[in-house]
């Protein structure tokens, strides 16, 4: 019965929709994986802000919607929890994380 009535405040965007948003210049991906994971492959144009040192106050603000991402969605959800206190407007992450991006066969930058 744990979690009964609990509603997630995190929004999710799918890989294909995120790709469209990026192509239109509407979004910026913030990858919260560690630097070595990011270096091995990431969403083109993403910036790396590892969860281990993540600070919502240091997120870039350039008018684009910020979408958080990690490998599978857990760490980006944790980063969104941190944002909820400082930056409640940042509330969306990539559903399934980078693994979903790869599964959709979307471009990868190294």
On whether the CB atoms of residues 59 and 37 are closer than 8 A, the answer is: no
Q: Whole-angstrom Cα distance, residue 3 to residue 15? A: 27
On whether the CB atoms of residues 76 and 90 are closer than 8 A, the answer is: no
62 CB-near residues (< 8 Å, 6+ apart): 28
Quick: pLDDT tens for 43-77: 999 999 999 999 999 999 899 999 999 999 999 99
Query: Binning pLDDT at 50, 70 and 90, where does residue 8 land?
Result: low
pTM of the model: 0.90
Residue 11 predicted with pLDDT over 90:
yes
Point out the least confidently predicted range of 19-33, 39-53, 77-91: 77-91
Residue 86: its pLDDT value, please? 78
What are the chain's domains?
11-103 (3.40.250.10)
């Amino acid at each position: 019965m744990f979690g009964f009535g609990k509603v997630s405040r995190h929004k999710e965007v799918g890989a294909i929709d995120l790709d469209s948003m990026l192509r239109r210049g509407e979004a910026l991906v913030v990858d919260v994986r560690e630097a070595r994971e990011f270096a091995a492959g990431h969403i083109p144009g993403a910036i790396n802000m590892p969860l281990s040192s993540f600070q919502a106050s240091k997120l870039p603000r350039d008018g684009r919607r910020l979408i958080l991402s990690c490998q599978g969605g857990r760490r980006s959800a944790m980063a969104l929890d941190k944002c909820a206190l400082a930056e409640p407007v940042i509330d969306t992450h990539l559903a399934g994380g980078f693994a979903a991006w790869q599964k959709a066969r979307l471009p990868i930058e190294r």
